[in-house]
Amino acid sequence: MTEITLYNTAIRAKEVLKPLDNTNVRMYVCGPTVYDRAHIGNARPVIVFDVLFRLLRHVYGSDAVTYVRNFTDVDDKINARAAESGRSIGEITDETIQWFLDDMGAVGALEPTEMPRATAYVPQMVAMIEQLIRDGFAYEKDGHVLFRVRKYKDYGTLSGRSVDDMIAGARVEVAPYKEDPMDFVLWKPSDAATPGWDSPWGRGRPGWHIECSAMAEDLLGSEFDIHGGGNDLTFPHHENEIAQSKCAGHGFAKIWLHNEMLQVEGKKMSKSLGNFFTVRDLLEPHGVWSTGISGDAIRYVLLSTHYRKPMDWTDRKALEALDKLTKLAQYEEPEAVPPSKRVVAALCNDLNTSEALKILEDLSKEGKIAELVSSARLLGIDLVNPVFAQERRTRDAYLRMQGIDELEEELQMARNDAMAQNPKDFTEVDRLKTRLVEIGLEVRMSKEGVSIEVPSNFDVSKLETLK
Ligand code: AMP
Ligand code: ZN
């Protein structure tokens, strides 16, 4: 059997995956809170764990993997969205779930085996909370149930921090119903306007963390192989999941995998910076991308950085991905063969997707087309019947139409003039460059010449101000 090695956050080292049951390898990944379109950062764990799902199916068999990814459909952000829009919670969560599935399907993600909604597992959560209270790990106060963090001596092991360090670093809420500020909510009361379920502690709703413990146990059993999510979830979410499940007597997850965060053009995504994109924004025509960016190109960009490294979404990377994909593209279905052993080996080495993408280029150069197509499919990329070249052409044509080429030429000529003078005089070059940078374009100058880069969030109408 091919060995898969994964970096386990819990031991801060790589470890060979030894499934509890080779005929049913089990993985749980924390899914989205469903009140809005998924942003490009949310696509990162989806794509990373989709590659792992595909690899596990390849190694253990397509019927031998159970992949659970939940939908958090009870949350105060959802309640707020319902209140401000006047729509019902069910309408909002149903719509958002469908958007999520459509958008993630567009970037090549298979649907997990199970996609439980938290609201369908409230009885299991209540049962787990009752058990925790019975065994002294949780207590009720004023309709709230809290987990007694100091009672679980291994708390903090996953993130490698002590409880006191975590208190210092986190914004823990002090509340009258808490014995200790570190204690976290398992259950909280709901008023008449908030969704709630009857429970031994009155009408209320679950805290966020308990849902994953309850659903993982119900769908994967007391102990399972892999648990994943973004590294922003390590603390407190995953630390709390572990505390709940272990104290309820479960082995819980053996290997913990965390993807690093994605940023956009070097900055944390935020609506106020104008660098916040949903996956749908990128797929649809936008800015200079008059036909949008194909899901395969988006996926290629996300796979080109290893999942444990921070990554930057830039428009330039999307262009490079399109160029690479255009070179790899095929127009006929080749014979069906297994994926290249080299690609499988790269993925088995803690999901080295960037290496796997480089091997695709080698396979193409070596003329191993059948292996190329099959290996790309293992990565979730379809190289047959692609749109890549067309997309690149329409983008470039659009920019030509908008006069970016002429601006580039003007700058190049100014630079040639500056270089030809004695002494060199860059006053005009700097003036032109400043105007371009002011409206949001990026200017690169090197020995090879001048190029103007157009960021994804570039406002094309700003070109008017140059005229
Ligand atoms: P949320 O809906 O915010 O709970 O996030 C759903 C998933 O997306 C979680 O696994 C998060 O860790 C992950 N995530 C959120 N933001 C980013 C980001 N900027 N980069 C990578 N993963 C992210
Ligand atoms: Zn979770």
- Tens digits of residue pLDDT in 37-95: 999 999 999 999 999 999 999 999 999 999 999 999 999 999 999 999 999 999 999 99
CA 238 to chain centre: 16
pLDDT of residue 221: 98
Residues of the chain whose pLDDT is less than 70? 169-171, 456
CA of 41 to the centre of ligand 1 (A): 6
Residues ≥6 apart with Cβ < 8 Å to 75: 33, 35, 208
Give the CA dihedral 406, 408, 414, 417, nearest 10 degrees: -100
pLDDT of residue 172: 72
CA of 308 to the centre of ligand 1 (A): 14
Contact (CB, 8 A) for 347 and 375: no
Residues ≥6 apart with Cβ < 8 Å to 227: 27, 28, 29, 216, 238, 241, 252, 253, 255, 256, 257
CA of 384 to the centre of ligand 2 (A): 36
Residue 384's CB: how many other CB atoms inside 10 A?
13
> Residue for token digits 């386990």?
8
Nearest residue to 350 via CA among 263, 223, 226, 264: 226
The strand ranges marked E within 122-210 are 138-141, 144-147, 184-189, 204-206
pLDDT of residue 388: 86
Pairing between β-strand 204-206 and β-strand 442-446 as defined by DSSP bridges: unpaired
- Rounded to 5 degrees, φ, ψ at 29 are -130, 135
CA of 30 to the centre of ligand 2 (A): 4
Which protein residue's CA is at the shortest distance from atom 11 of ligand 1?
230
* Mutate which of 70, 78, 232, 235 for ligand 1 pocket (most atoms within 8 A of beta carbon): 232
pLDDT of residue 162: 82
* Closest ligand (CA of 33): 1
CA of 8 to the centre of ligand 1 (A): 19
Which protein residue's CA is at the shortest distance from atom 5 of ligand 1?
32
C-alpha–C-alpha distance, residues 367 and 239, integer Å: 48
Alpha-carbon distances of 212 from 68, 75, 207, 256, 316, rounded to whole Å? 10, 13, 10, 14, 37
Nearest ligand 1 atom to alpha carbon 233: 12
The secondary structure of residue 338, as a DSSP letter, is P
Q: Is 8 helix (H, G, I), strand (E, B) or coil?
A: strand
